[in-house]
């Protein structure tokens, strides 16, 4: 597994003072709106926050979330660990305005301690014989992956007169945590990624006020705050500030000088945009997310000749790439600058295109096939790059994003053979400024392409998003959009055409 720059830390005991709400009566008379609260207007209080915060809920019992939202409660709903019992308990907790706890393995002591802290006079165990259980329908969710979203969509039956901050969750948040936040009156946004930049709405919310996040998948509070600070750097085509998820891309690959290196060079920039939009439109009916047209523009081209600088790579002047970058970005698309360094250096070449990479909708791709050692000629072997070489480029690109207040950038690695990144496990991922993409760009029969795809995914750092390439001439046959999305598993986030 790759080392990551993000760390997961349990919040310390010196975390924020709790503030909460009662649970049974609409006037709050049986439970205190206690801890530290901010006065908003007469008769209304606000849950106290001191910056963005992750409520870890490390054991999945929901006890830590109950502590954060409730100072006391006459009623508490306690579920057994089975999914159906949790869905029943969630519906009951949200209806009553009571915290929900779950007795998952090893949490009995924590659950019992939280019941005592709440001072609950009524403990509804699910399953159990309380009459309220039989009259409550469980939260309706067909698939386990949709449980959290279904709970978040339930209308509280006993909402509190308490102003709540935005609350973020993902499908990995515990059912109890989301039910408790919802019972307290919070609007819970279930995001596709544990990052406040996941949607346009979450970006606006986290830049305008403090926000809470439910579950250890969000990492530490410091990590959450670091990502929240980037939410003001602007959105990407299709909405939100993350490259993936939130959209997929369909790209034309090639070089502006001509068709020999790919379809991108077969027409002028305007015609290339129309072709990319045509391909993207063919994919759009197959996906609920926006399909964004893209260009992957080869900037430095591996050469059989050493050239004036002796590095067997021809660096295209940046001004020759500008018309293509402008064309796709102005059309609402995305551009990726691709490097084939020969005996050159990835970082040195990337810096040649710094002005282009300072643009918000431009990412970077490194093609290790054409990375050679001193004394090696192109095509003498499949090229390779070390993790150290990739890491220095990633450090530079992440700093470029931070220093220039840019949205997250795609960081694409091309690979079709294990030898291309011999120590791939040492590539450092997890930077909030970068979206790591592994582009499987092998060609041939479907069987060969799938074999390559599966090998590349073995031991792959989960921070990588997978990408796929369709070749017009070298594939036999080339996949249709329907086959690309139906047969390639997992579904690729980035599809390019060469």
Q: What ranges in 172-290 are assigned the alpha helix state H?
A: 175-183, 200-208, 221-229, 269-283
Average pLDDT estimate for 317-322 = 97
pLDDT at 159: 73
**Is residue 185 predicted with pLDDT exceeding 90?**
yes
Average pLDDT estimate for 112-135 = 97
pLDDT at 18: 31
Give yes or no for a contact between 276 and 252, defined as CB atoms under 8 angstroms apart.
yes
- CA gap 192, 210 in Å, rounded: 20
Tokens at 135, concatenated:
């009259």
Average pLDDT estimate for 343-361 = 97
Give yes or no for a contact between 384 and 421, defined as CB atoms under 8 angstroms apart.
yes
Find, among 95, 465, 474, the residue nearest to 263 by Cα.
474
At 484, give phi and psi (nearest 5°): -60, -40
In the chain, where the domains are located: 37-233, 248-497
pLDDT, tens only, 223-268: 999 999 999 999 999 999 999 999 999 999 999 998 988 999 999 9
Find, among 159, 221, 219, 215, the residue nearest to 187 by Cα.
159
pLDDT at 16: 29
State the pLDDT confidence band at 44, using cuts at 50, 70 and 90.
Answer: low
Average pLDDT estimate for 141-165 = 93
Average pLDDT estimate for 484-498 = 97
Average pLDDT estimate for 429-458 = 96
Question: How many CA atoms lie within 13 Å of 344's alpha carbon, on the beta-carbon side?
Answer: 29
pLDDT at 140: 96
pLDDT at 143: 96
pLDDT, tens only, 444-485: 999 999 999 999 999 999 999 999 999 999 999 999 999 999
**Is residue 362 predicted with pLDDT exceeding 90?**
yes
- CA gap 442, 277 in Å, rounded: 24
Q: Per DSSP, which regions of 316-361 are E strands?
A: 334-339
Question: How many CA atoms lie within 13 Å of 143's alpha carbon, on the beta-carbon side?
Answer: 4
At 434, give phi and psi (nearest 5°): -125, 145
Give me the residues paired with residue 77 across strands: 100, 124
pLDDT at 36: 38
- As a whole number, the mean pLDDT across the chain is 90
Please provide the CATH number assigned to the domain covering 248-497: 3.20.20
């Amino acid at each position: 597994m790759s080392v990551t720059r993000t760390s997961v830390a349990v919040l310390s005991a010196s975390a924020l003072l709790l503030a909460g709400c009662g649970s049974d009566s609409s006037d709050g008379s049986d439970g205190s709106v206690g801890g530290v609260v901010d006065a908003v207007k007469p008769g209304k209080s606000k849950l106290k926050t001191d910056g963005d915060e992750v409520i870890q809920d490390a054991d999945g019992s929901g006890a830590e979330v109950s502590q954060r939202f409730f100072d006391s409660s006459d009623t508490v709903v306690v579920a057994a660990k089975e999914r159906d019992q949790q869905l029943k308990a969630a519906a009951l907790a949200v209806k009553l305005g009571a915290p929900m706890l779950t007795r998952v393995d090893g949490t009995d002591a924590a659950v019992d301690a939280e019941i005592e802290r709440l001072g609950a006079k009524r403990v509804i165990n699910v399953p159990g014989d309380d009459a309220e259980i039989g009259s409550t329908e469980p939260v309706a969710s067909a698939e386990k992956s949709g449980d959290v979203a279904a709970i978040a969509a339930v209308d509280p039956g006993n909402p509190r007169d308490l102003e709540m901050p935005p609350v973020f969750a993902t499908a990995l948040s515990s059912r109890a945590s989301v039910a408790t936040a919802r019972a307290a009156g919070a609007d819970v946004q279930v995001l596709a990624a544990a990052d406040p930049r996941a949607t346009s709405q979450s970006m606006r919310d986290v830049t305008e006020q403090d926000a809470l996040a439910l579950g250890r998948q969000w990492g530490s509070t410091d990590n959450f705050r670091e990502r929240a600070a980037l939410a003001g750097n602007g959105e990407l085509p299709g909405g939100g500030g993350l490259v993936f998820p939130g959209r997929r891309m369909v790209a034309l690959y090639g070089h502006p000088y001509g068709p020999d290196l790919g379809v991108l060079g077969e027409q002028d920039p305007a015609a290339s945009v129309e072709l990319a939009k045509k391909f993207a439109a063919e994919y759009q009916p197959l996906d609920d997310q926006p399909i964004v047209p893209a260009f992957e523009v080869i900037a430095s081209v591996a050469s059989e000749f050493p050239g004036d600088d002796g590095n067997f790579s021809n660096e295209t002047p940046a001004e020759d790439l500008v018309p293509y970058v402008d064309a796709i970005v102005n059309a609402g698309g995305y551009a990726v600058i691709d490097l084939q360094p020969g005996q050159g250096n990835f970082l040195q070449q990337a810096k040649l295109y710094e002005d282009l990479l300072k643009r918000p909708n431009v990412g970077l791709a490194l093609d290790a096939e054409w990375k050679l050692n001193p004394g090696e000629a192109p095509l003498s072997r499949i090229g390779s790059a070390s993790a150290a070489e990739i890491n220095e480029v990633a450090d530079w690109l992440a700093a470029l994003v931070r220093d220039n207040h840019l949205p997250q950038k795609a960081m694409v690695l091309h690979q079709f053979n294990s030898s291309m990144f011999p120590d791939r496990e040492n590539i450092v991922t997890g930077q909030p400024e970068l979206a790591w993409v592994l582009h499987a760009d092998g060609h041939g029969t479907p069987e060969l392409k799938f074999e390559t795809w599966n090998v590349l995914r073995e031991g792959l750092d989960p921070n990588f998003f997978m990408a796929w390439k369709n070749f017009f001439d070298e594939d036999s046959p080339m996949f249709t959009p329907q086959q690309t999305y139906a047969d390639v598993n997992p579904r690729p986030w980035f599809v390019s055409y060469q």
